[in-house]
Amino acid sequence: MNNTTEIFVNGLWRDNPVFRQILGLCITLAITNRVVNGVTMGVAVFFVLVASSFIVSVIGEYVPRRVRIPVYMLIIATFVTLVYMFLRAYFTGLSQALGAYVGLIITNCIILGRLESFSSENGPWESVVDAAGISAGFAAALIAMSVVRELLGFGTLFGINVLGSGWTPWVSMILAPGGFLVLGLLVWIERSISPVEEG
């Protein structure tokens, strides 16, 4: 069971998809202006990644190598469609806030990268644990980004006023530049704590 924890922690911190591997940036930058969006997207990606990792680890060896990418994309697209329909049905407001970005989970390179490099070569249990670790790492990154941006941009957290009425919101934090700057600074902090080995 030691191995299981190791795979999970790897995904969460050492191989963190956003800060370490610099993947899945579109979603990370686009929807993190509110914490609620970050949490929702984290959960959605968790579901899609775990489910498609499981499927790929089971059927992986039967898929011819030449067509594997389209096959993986189809599996991912199926689960993303499920998420989209679920959000539309039960969380209409959130679904509108996330807009086209729910669909863009399909082209999130984190998911395809994990399927390609891990699930296709490992058993179902390891794949699911790896997927859970990676998506927990992704969710953590989304939440870290959105806490900073919502706090500075609106003065709120989960829509609740935290900084009081004297706070002047930093509008640029919720606009595009804020996303880039916060991500740049967080990458800087993360890499100062645990430096990247030369590669």
Partner 1 sequence: MKLLSILIAAIFAHNIALRYFLGWCPLVSQSKKLSSAWGMGVAVTLVMTVTSVLNWPIYHYLLVPFGLEYLQYIAFIIVIASSVQVLEMAIERFFPSLYTTMGVFLPLITVNCAILGVSLFMILRDYTFLTGLVYALGSGIGWTVAIISLASIREKLRFAKVPKPLQGPGITMLIAGIMAFAFLGFSGMVGIE
- Closest by CA to 40, choosing from 77, 108, 92, 107, is 92
Instruction: Using CB under 8 A, pick the residue from 63, 97, 109, 143 that binds partner 1.
Output: 109
| Long-range contacts from 179-185, C-beta under 8 angstroms, 24+ separation | 179/28, 179/29, 179/30, 179/32, 179/33, 179/145, 179/149, 180/29, 182/32, 182/145, 182/148, 182/149, 183/18, 183/25, 183/28, 183/29, 183/145
Considering only the stretches 39-47, 50-58, 159-167, 175-183, report the one whose residues sit in contact with partner 1 under the rule CB under 8 A: 175-183
Residue carrying structure tokens 């679920």: 86
* Class of residue 32 by CB neighbours under 10 A (exposed 0-12, middle 13-18, buried 19+): buried
Residue 117 interacts with partner 1 (CB under 8 A)? no
Considering only the stretches 43-51, 132-140, 141-149, 173-181, report the one whose residues sit in contact with partner 1 under the rule CB under 8 A: 173-181
Q: How far is the CB of 115 from partner 1 (least distance, A)?
A: 11
Tokens of 110: 């984190």
Q: How far is the CB of 175 from partner 1 (least distance, A)?
A: 7
DSSP codes joined into one string, 146-167: HHHHHHHHHSEETTEE-S-TT-
- Which phi and psi angles does 193 have, rounded to 5°? -70, -50
Binding mask 77-96 for partner 1 (x = CB under 8 A): xx-xx--xx-----------
Size of the residue set binding partner 1 (CB under 8 A): 45
Binding mask 7-46 for partner 1 (x = CB under 8 A): ---------------xxxxx--xx----------------
Considering only the stretches 46-54, 103-111, 140-148, 152-160, report the one whose residues sit in contact with partner 1 under the rule CB under 8 A: 103-111
Residue 74 interacts with partner 1 (CB under 8 A)? yes
Binding site for partner 1 (CB under 8 A): 22-26, 29-30, 69-70, 73-74, 77-78, 80-81, 84-85, 99-100, 103-104, 106-109, 112, 172, 175-181, 183-185, 187-192, 195-196
